[in-house]
Amino acid sequence: MDLSHRVAVVTGGASGIGRAVAAAMAKRNVKAVALVDMSESVHLVAEELNQQAAEPFAQAFQGNVVDPQFRAEVYDSVSARHGLVSLCVPAAGITRDDLAVRVDRISGKARIYPEEHFRAVVDINLIAPIYWALEMIGRIAEDRTARGLKRWHPEERVQGSVVFIGSISSAGNRGQISYASTKAGLEGAAATILKEAMFYGVRCSLIHPGFTDTPMVRKLGPEYITKNILPFTQLGRLISPEEIADAICFMLANSAVSGELWVDAGWHASA
């Protein structure tokens, strides 16, 4: 599937992996990228990306990915201007790390992981990416129906492609009960969409990045990274966001890819 002249939606586009995906798409001549993020910096990032590219391609949308009205507005706006969206990389994500159960040394009482943190992580990391993908698939399905097309046929070009961002934490990681659950949850969603959306000619796959050099990982602090991450990573360094973006573009473009790809720099968990 040739990415050139396609229209894309990338959430979490103001930072880390999302930003790198948008930059990588520009190199592959994607026509337009809706760069979605709740951070105000998304406007500046879009400006910077446009300055670095041969032609302006990024349009910033500031808002919360859990808001369905915002989601519809982004799709309405970008498709009215550039045509149907056919690439979706919903990369916005958060962590709320803590042990699942922690016993207070003095009181001896157990404190279990706060439910409100769990729900926030599920909303942003699991439900939102699924719905940003479904929004694209729904619009492709509607467009096909309007053109009298039914089941997609292999002689047609592939109509669209989704890459969800999982994580090595989907296999379980101490201190990440909510994050790991959402990333594992995306496996079920991707496998289901893979089965259903091909009716409309849309592919879906899932990447599991290892520890990548973004603000999400940097906030763990240099000491934590040196002690707990690098010794268990065969490459002995963090992965660059550009390496993950390159793998995502490969997954979007190569229509034979189905399922999951681990891009973890040889991560082998300690326990």
Residues that bind ligand NAD (CB under 6 A): 12, 14-18, 37-39, 64-66, 91-94, 124, 165, 167, 209, 211-212, 214-217
Rounded to a whole number of angstroms, the minimum distance from the CB of residue 39 to ligand NAD is 4
What count of Cα atoms within 13 Å lies in the side-chain half-sphere of residue 121?
22
Q: 110 with 130: CB under 8 angstroms?
A: no
Tokens of 27: 């190199």
Among residues 151, 158, 156, 264, the alpha carbon closest in space to that of 207 is found at 264
User: Cβ closer to ligand NAD: 91 or 202?
Assistant: 91
Angle at which helix 241-253 crosses helix 16-27, to 10 degrees, equals 50
End-to-end CA distance of the chain: 40
Rounded to a whole number of angstroms, the minimum distance from the CB of residue 242 to ligand NAD is 12
User: Cβ closer to ligand NAD: 22 or 141?
Assistant: 22
User: Cβ closer to ligand NAD: 85 or 229?
Assistant: 229
Rounded to a whole number of angstroms, the minimum distance from the CB of residue 109 to ligand NAD is 31
What's phi and psi for 144, nearest 5 deg? -65, -40
Rounded to a whole number of angstroms, the minimum distance from the CB of residue 73 to ligand NAD is 14
Angle at which helix 68-82 crosses helix 128-146, to 10 degrees, equals 40
User: Cβ closer to ligand NAD: 18 or 160?
Assistant: 18
What is Dmax (Cα atoms) for the chain? Answer: 69
Rounded to a whole number of angstroms, the minimum distance from the CB of residue 85 to ligand NAD is 17
Element (H, E) at 103: strand 101-103
For 205, other C-beta atoms within 10 Å of its C-beta total 21
d(CA 140, CA 201): 9
Rounded to a whole number of angstroms, the minimum distance from the CB of residue 170 to ligand NAD is 9
Rounded to a whole number of angstroms, the minimum distance from the CB of residue 128 to ligand NAD is 7
User: Cβ closer to ligand NAD: 93 or 201?
Assistant: 93
User: Cβ closer to ligand NAD: 18 or 201?
Assistant: 18
User: Cβ closer to ligand NAD: 1 or 66?
Assistant: 66
CB-based closest residue to ligand NAD: 16
Task: Give the Å distances, CA to CA, from 61 to 7, 98, 121.
Answer: 15, 31, 21
